[in-house]
């Protein structure tokens, strides 16, 4: 998917429409969309060799600034599907090697991180339509299925099947209702 379509899909997640007025409103006033836009722009420019050594430097510097300004640390190298939504900014850390599917919501205080030892050594793979609540931690080589809701302050260290609702430390599945009502304006 090209960068313009990805940016449109991200914007659509915030209001359910894509137009210039909505774009500039969110680019100026919404830290989550502003960060995502800059991240997508960096990814797009880094692929082209000519742009990587010329135009890429400006959005890359802005992204570094946003890391400290908004408290969001998601690398432009992270594989993120369409319709990415950051509900509230601050304290979001995602390892660059993680894979995040389409139409995912991330809240404040979320960590998606690497584990360097044990049976789950590696990086998380997160499916489509996943809601990650405030303060949740997803650590190691775990697979999160599609349509999964991860509750606030949950620590996920094991694989989670599709349509699950997970809460607690460590995360335990409490129902199979999935993300019904949590993921809006999918693209």
Give the predicted TM-score (pTM) of the model.
Answer: 0.91
pLDDT value at 53 more than 80: no
The average pLDDT across 124-133 equals: 96
Q: What is the pLDDT of residue 174?
A: 95
Length of the chain equals 187
Of the chain, the percentage scoring pLDDT greater than 70 comes to: 99
Find residue 125's DSSP bridge partners. 99, 143
Sorted by sequence, the CB contacts under 8 Å of residue 92 that are 6+ apart come out as 71, 72, 73, 74, 86, 106, 108, 109, 110, 111
State pLDDT tens for residues 14-36.
999 999 999 999 999 999 999 99
Every domain of the chain and the residues it spans = 1-71, 91-180
Sheet architecture: strand order including 99-100: 79-80, 99-100, 125-126, 143-144
Token pair 């190298």: residue: 77
Q: Say how far apart CA 94 and CA 114 lie, in whole Å.
A: 9
Query: How would CATH label the architecture of 91-180?
Result: 3 Solenoid (2.160)
């Amino acid at each position: 998917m090209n960068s313009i379509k990805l940016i449109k899909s991200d914007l659509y997640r915030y209001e359910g429409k894509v137009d210039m007025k909505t774009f500039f409103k969110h680019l100026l006033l919404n830290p989550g969309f502003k960060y995502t836009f800059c991240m997508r722009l960096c990814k797009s420019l880094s692929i082209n060799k000519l742009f990587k050594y010329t135009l890429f430097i400006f959005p890359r510097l802005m992204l570094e600034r946003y890391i400290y300004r908004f408290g969001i640390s998601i690398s432009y190298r992270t594989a993120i599907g369409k319709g990415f939504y950051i509900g509230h900014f601050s304290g979001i850390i995602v390892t660059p090697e993680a894979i995040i599917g389409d139409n995912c919501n991330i809240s404040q205080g979320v960590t998606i991180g690497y584990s360097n030892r044990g049976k789950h050594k590696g990086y998380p793979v997160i499916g489509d339509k996943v809601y990650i609540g405030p303060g949740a931690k997803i650590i190691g080589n775990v697979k999160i299925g599609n349509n999964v809701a991860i509750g606030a302050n949950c620590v996920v260290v094991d694989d989670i099947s599709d349509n699950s609702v997970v809460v607690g430390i460590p995360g335990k599945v409490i129902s199979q209702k999935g993300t019904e009502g949590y993921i809006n304006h999918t693209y």
